[in-house]
Amino acid sequence: MSGRFVLLGAPGAGKGTQAKRVCTRLGVEHLSTGDLLRHAVRTGSPAGKKAKGYMDAGKLVPDEVVFSVLFERLDDGLDGFLLDGFPRNRVQAEELDRRLDAAGTPLDAVVDIDVPDEHLLGRITGRRVCKVCGNVHHVEFMRPRVEGVCDVCGGELQQRSDDRAEVVGQRLAVYREQTAPLQAYYADRGLLATVDGDRDADAITDDLLAALGEHSTEGR
């Protein structure tokens, strides 16, 4: 099964966790601009140097910087991918459409993971990420078997620097102003489905697989 998909949703909606599960099942590439940018920051690349201050402040990284890290990857995998954390504003959505249209490989579906605003803050501030493998736990909702230790690889869990309460308010404000309007952008193009993200993780994965499966390019 293959296809070109976008996963929308607020910070803390569970995009990263769900994207990993769904991509494994569908065999499509998981492209997270947050992960690509954090990797750029860690390796000290020019894009990483430009991105760091914006990320620490909970602001959007300038479009050109995001394009540089994403499109070098996307250009070799136009067949099957799921974008997580991109697009985040209208300029990014239009640039994505332009590139995919030029290649004759438009998007197949966009799914929004919907979580009520009042649950987002606690989801983000309780998130703990494995230093070694990137697996995501939550101190309350997805507790590791041993506190502070990754279930998958035994690595040390840590809080992402932009998951602190001081920065999260800014990230949620940016989401509401710039990213949430993309729901209408994709609904107008007949691409949008919505999944209730306020349930246990397995139920959400099932719904996502169903929503994406309907639009997959299997057998086409």
**Chain residues that interact with ligand ADP, rule: CB under 6 A:** 11-12, 15, 33-34, 37, 54-55, 58-61, 66, 85-86, 88, 92, 162, 171
Q: Which does 184 bind (CB under 5 to 8 A by kind): Zn ion, ligand ADP, none?
A: none
The answer to whether 135 contacts Zn ion (rule: CB under 5 A) is: yes
Q: Which is nearer to Zn ion, 39 or 99 (CB)?
A: 39
Q: Are 36 and 70 in contact (CB under 8 A)?
A: yes
Residue position matching structure tokens 């494994």: 24
Q: Which is nearer to ligand ADP, 52 or 216 (CB)?
A: 52
Residue 54 interacts, among ligand ADP, Zn ion, none and using kind-specific CB cut-offs from 5 to 8 Å, with ligand ADP
User: Which of ligand ADP, Zn ion, none does 37 bind, CB closer than 5 to 8 A by kind?
Assistant: ligand ADP
- Only one residue has tokens 């459409």, namely 97
Q: Measured from the CB of residue 68, what is the shortest distance to Zn ion in angstroms?
A: 28
Residues with a catalytic annotation lie at 15, 88, 127, 160, 171
Q: Are 148 and 49 in contact (CB under 8 A)?
A: no
- 184 near Zn ion (CB under 5 A): no
What's the Cα-to-Cα distance from 37 to each of 41, 44, 126, 161, rounded to whole Å? Answer: 6, 10, 22, 14
Binding status of residue 146 toward Zn ion by CB under 5 A = no
Q: Does 152 bind Zn ion (CB under 5 A)?
A: yes
Min. distance of Cβ 36 from ligand ADP in angstroms?
Answer: 8
Cβ neighbourhood burial of 11 (10 Å; 0-12, 13-18, 19+) = buried
Question: Is residue 155 close enough to count as binding Zn ion by CB under 5 A?
Answer: yes
Map the footprint of Zn ion across residues 104-133, applying CB under 5 A. 130, 132-133
The smaller minimum CB distance to ligand ADP, of residues 58 and 197, is found at 58
Rounded distance, CA 218 to CA 205, Å?
A: 19
Token code pair at residue 103: 């290649």
Minimum gap (Å) between residue 88 Cβ and ligand ADP: 4
Q: How far is CA 49 from CA 38, 41, 90, 92, 195, in A?
A: 10, 6, 24, 21, 36
Residue with smaller CB distance to ligand ADP, 150 or 216: 150
Distance separating alpha carbons of residues 25 and 159, to the nearest angstrom: 28
Closest CA to 205 of 25, 1, 9: 25
Write out the residues near Zn ion by the rule CB under 5 A. Answer: 130, 132-133, 135, 150, 152-153, 155
